[in-house]
Amino acid sequence: MTFDSLVVLLALVGMLAALVKEVMRPGMILFTVTAVFLCFGIITPKEMLEGFSNKGMITVALLFLVSEGVRQSGALSQVIKRILPQGKTTVFKAQARMLPSIAFISAFLNNTPVVVIFAPIIKRWAKMVKLPATKFLIPLSYMTILGGLCTLIGTSTNLVVHGMMIEAGFEGLGMFDLAWIGIPITVIGAVYIFLTSKKMLPDDRPEPEIVEEDTDPEEPVHQVEVVIGSRFPGINKTLKEFNFRRHYGAEVREIKRDGKPLSDVAHEPMFEGDTLVLMADDSFVKTWGDSSAFLMIANGHDNEPHVSCRKRTFALFLLVLMIVGATVGELPWFQETFPGLKLDMFFFAAVTAVAMAWANIFPARKYTKYISWDILITIACAFAISKAMTNSGMADLIAKAIIDLSYSFGPKSTVGPYILLGALYLISNVITALITNNAAAALGFPLALSLATQLGVSPMPFFIAICISASADFSTPIGYQTNLIVQGIGNYKFMDFVRVGLPLNLLCMAVSVLLIPQFWPFDL
């Protein structure tokens, strides 16, 4: 092991520990690691900055704006209200109507706004039809994750791997290339949810009644639930240290974590993903509804802005134009007919975002609020970390160790590549469960490339495995932001996700390892 590879190994171990302990936001942790690599000369300043100008990373930023435009148009809330059955129904029948539509929508939109809009509406609907909301909220999160596996823009991880492939000299992914594996996994995942959710998901857990006291009749207050986001200024502070009323004009009555209310509200530190039960007046949702401090705000009423039907229709038209345009622009006949035009997803996402801004579908003056900068910095730094693993030889060392281990199951047999594919999938999936999907892609991509090179096989099966495994984590609420959101609003416990999600993780892994080589063969 060389000195450079030792530095990379120690830095990656430190990075993983810092991410698990959440000492800082993921973006700053990964940026710190890239700065260390820069100091030791493992990467050049040019290599450190390449990720910040990568087309895939900038496309993710533009898609944040497109998703916000669709959200603020009110189109999503109208869709879910029409999907939900209004008469007497059963859990199975309601899921059969909801889940396919949710998967389809999330294939083209950022998962988080889909869950933020749908979750409160589904919870109110479930109460109205007298069905437990807990039978629908985890399936909501899981189906958005599964739907995101079907297209290039379904999740940021796909765009990260796509960008890394282009940087490494490969062609990259088309809009629907991942559908060959994403659709079978989504169908099988949906069947699994249909068959297991009734028995394995809990019934509604009773929520303690919050008593409204000492209220001013001229300023009536009511109960509001918020899920703490990464930019909440009171993270790691107690209510004694952080004056919530002074900051937000509301009183915290309860803090829920892991599906349970905490006993000592005043002295418990607050963390990302905690649900706060507040007493607030009508101005709270209007003032803080778009705040990045909270992942979600629910007050038992519709929080969607009222917009004209014309604006809603125009937003949907732009979304369809973006998807169809990017798909047609990738077709071979179009590229041969117009060789000078590069009408890819970046082009149409940029045009759509600008059109939405000028049409005032989302407030153009506040556009920076709708972009998750920490995710973008994490993605940009992921490219530099991947480059450092390659430059130092660490990726080759880890790949060789994995190959040597696989040979114990059958030396140089045809089973070997399948075992390695499964091992890479498992490694990326575990990293996603512990930290973040984009960091998993950063660590997994150079391993995938090195494994394929040392085996003398095509790297495409390994690249596709990274796309799937770095997103398809259902076993923990921290593995995916949508899981955190539904945990709070559904009062789920940590073990609810493990009990239902871990078998789904293993099912997705088995399907992926078996099917990926059928569509992307190992042969060069």
- Let me know if residue 46 belongs to a domain: no
Digit-coded pLDDT (tens) for 447-458: 999 999 988 889
| Mean pLDDT across 105-128 | 88
Give pLDDT, residue 358.
Answer: 94
pLDDT, residue 311, reads 87
User: Does residue 232 lie in a domain region?
Assistant: yes
Name the percent of the chain lying above pLDDT 70. Answer: 94
3-state SS assignment for residue 167: helix
Nearest to 254 by CA among 298, 223, 288, 295: 223
Provide the CB-side half-sphere exposure for 234 (13 A, CA).
23
Do residues 315 and 75 make contact, with C-beta atoms less than 8 angstroms apart? yes
Separation CA 60–CA 379 (nearest Å):
9
* pLDDT score for 318: 93
Are the beta carbons of 263 and 277 closer than 8 angstroms? no
Residue 221 vs residue 451, higher pLDDT = 451
Looking from the CA of 379 toward its CB, the CA atoms found within 13 Å total: 25
DSSP 239: T
Residue 372, sorted as left (phi over 0), alpha (psi -120 to 50) or beta, turns out to be beta
Integer Cα distance of 191 and 11 in angstroms:
42
pLDDT digits (tens, 9 = 90+) for 312-356: 899 999 999 999 998 888 887 887 787 777 788 899 999 999 999
**Is the Cβ–Cβ distance between 511 and 190 less than 8 Å?**
no
* Domain presence at residue 437: no
Q: Is 130 domain-assigned?
A: no
* Choice among 107-111, 220-224, 275-279, 306-310 with the minimum mean pLDDT: 306-310
Q: Nearest to residue 397, comparing CAs of 451, 444, 442?
A: 451
Partners of 222 in the β-ladder: 280
d(CA 378, CA 439): 7
DSSP at 236: T
The pLDDT assigned to 66 comes to 92
| Res 22 pLDDT > 90 | no
Range with the lowest mean pLDDT among 116-130, 233-247, 258-272, 398-412? 398-412
Mean pLDDT for the chain overall:
86
- Find the mean pLDDT for residues 142-157: 92
Mean pLDDT over residues 179-189, rounded? 96
pTM for this structure?
Answer: 0.84
Q: Which residue has the tokens 């539509």?
A: 101
Whether residue 211 is predicted with pLDDT greater than 80 in this model: the reply is no
pLDDT for the residue 400: 86
Q: What is the structure's pLDDT at 220?
A: 76
Q: Using alpha carbons, select from 342, 350, 341 the residue that is nearest to residue 322.
A: 350
Conformational region of residue 469, where left means phi above 0, alpha means psi within -120 to 50, and beta covers everything else: alpha
Classify residue 364 by its DSSP letter: G
Cα(89)–Cα(306) distance, integer angstroms: 29
pLDDT of residue 302: 58
Is the residue at 246 inside a domain?
Answer: yes
Q: What is the DSSP letter of 42?
A: S
DSSP secondary structure of 463-512: HHHHHHHTT---S-TTSSHHHHHHHHHHT--HHHHHHHHHHHHHHHHHHH
| pLDDT tens profile 357-375 | 999 998 888 888 888 888 8
- What's the pLDDT at 185? 96
Task: Look at residue 209 in the predicted model and tell me its pLDDT.
Answer: 59
Sorted by sequence, the CB contacts under 8 Å of residue 78 that are 6+ apart come out as: 312
Q: Is the dihedral of CA 348, 349, 352, 357 positive or negative?
A: negative
pLDDT at position 156, please?
87
| 405 token code pair | 């281990």
Whether 200 contacts 273, CB under 8 Å: no
Q: What is the pLDDT of residue 411?
A: 54
- Whether 18 shows a pLDDT value over 80: the answer reads yes
Helix pair angle (437-455, 394-406), 10° resolution: 70
Nearest to 442 by CA among 457, 462, 428: 428
Amino acid 263: pLDDT: 80
Q: Is pLDDT at 210 greater than 70 in this prediction?
A: no
Indicate which CATH number applies to the domain containing 282: 3.30.70.1450
Q: Indicate whether 483 belongs to any domain.
A: no
Higher pLDDT, 163 or 291: 163
User: How many Cβ atoms from other residues are within 10 Å of residue 299's Cβ?
Assistant: 18
pLDDT value at position 23?
A: 82
Query: Averaged over 118-125, what is the pLDDT?
Result: 88
Residues 79-100 have pLDDT tens digits of 888 888 887 888 899 999 999 9
SS3 (DSSP) at 35 = helix
- Residue type present at position 203: D
Look at residue 381 and tell me whether its pLDDT is greater than 80: yes
Return the amino acid letter for 104.
F
The structural domain count of the chain equals: 1
Name the residue with higher pLDDT: 258 or 345. 345
Question: Contacts for 396-402 with beta carbons within 8 Å, 24 or more apart?
Answer: 396/450, 396/454, 397/1, 397/5, 398/447, 398/450, 399/447, 399/450, 399/451, 399/453, 399/454, 400/454, 402/447, 402/451
- Give the count of beta carbons closer than 10 Å to the beta carbon of residue 402: 18
For 366, other C-beta atoms within 10 Å of its C-beta total 10
User: In this model, does residue 281 exceed pLDDT 80?
Assistant: yes
Q: What is the pLDDT of residue 513?
A: 94
At 511, is the pLDDT very low, low, confident or very high (cuts 50, 70, 90)?
very high
Residue 410 is predicted with a pLDDT of: 56
Q: How confident is the model at residue 412 (pLDDT cuts 50, 70, 90)?
A: low
Q: pLDDT at residue 517 above 60?
A: yes
Structure tokens at 47: 């290599």
> In the predicted model, what is the mean pLDDT of residues 235-249?
90
Residue 243 lies in a domain: yes
Q: Rounded to a whole number, what is the distance in angstroms from the first to the last CA of the chain?
A: 30
Question: Which amino acid makes up residue 255?
Answer: I
> What mean pLDDT do residues 202-207 have?
74
Region label for 84, one of left (φ > 0), alpha (ψ between -120 and 50) or beta (otherwise): beta
Tell me which residue range forms the domain holding 274: 222-298
- Give the pairing type, strands 251-257 and 275-280: antiparallel
Which residue is associated with the tokens 């999740």? 155
Predicted local distance difference test score (pLDDT) of residue 516: 95
Highest mean pLDDT, choosing among 244-253, 294-303, 408-417, 428-437: 244-253
pLDDT at 305: 58
Asked whether residue 228 is assigned to any structural domain, the reply reads yes
Contact between 299 and 226 under an 8 Å Cβ cutoff? The reply is no
